[in-house]
Amino acid sequence: MSNNHNVEGRPPAFDAKLMQYRPGLLKLAGKFTTTSEERHDLVTDTIIYCLRNWQSFREDGGFWNWLYWSMRGVVGNKKEGVKARITLVQDSDGVFAATRGIAPSQLDYVEICQIMRSMSARGGGVVVRRAMGHTLPEIGAAIGVTAERVRQIENRERGRLLKRRAG
């Protein structure tokens, strides 16, 4: 491991020793996490923690023991961080609830697929992009037409949707 970015004066032997314990840290991280990605993230966070706090290591306690407790500390800090971010919101008028998304059901998915199939590819693309917040000039530039033509395509497709809904 290169020690070029070591501004804290850590001995290169410490960095090398830490990297030798990486496989063991991966195995230990499996006890605290469920997925491979979480395990690798925990090991990375633990290594970063150890590099930043290398001066707290004492030879008499053993390196593995220090790494173990460092990882437990990182896990605890993550849990505390999640708890600290959870906030309760007063929403007596329902404004916040109205802005929250609701997971679509299978019926919603089927309905949107049927609707999209009934539209032309170009018109459906315009309607979807407008629903996503794109502006008329942005869409026009992407499909090679003027903003006015995009507006016309959008209105035509919306009219078709309204007819389909009414009929």
**Any residues with CB less than 8 A from the CB of 25 and at least 6 apart, and which?**
43, 46, 47, 67, 71
Could you give the CA distance from residue 125 to residue 142 in angstroms, rounded to a whole number? 11
Domains annotated for the chain, with CATH where assigned, are: 12-84 (1.10.1740.10), 104-166 (1.10.10.10)
CB 103, CB 78: distance < 8 Å:
no
Note the pLDDT tens digit of each residue in 79-107. 776 555 555 566 666 666 656 666 667 77
Give the CA dihedral 69, 73, 75, 79, nearest 10 degrees: 150
Note the pLDDT tens digit of each residue in 119-150. 888 888 888 888 888 899 999 999 999 999 99
Nearest Cα residue to 63 out of 79, 46, 78, 41: 46
Length of the chain: 167
pTM: 0.46
Could you give the CA distance from residue 50 to residue 69 in angstroms, rounded to a whole number? 10
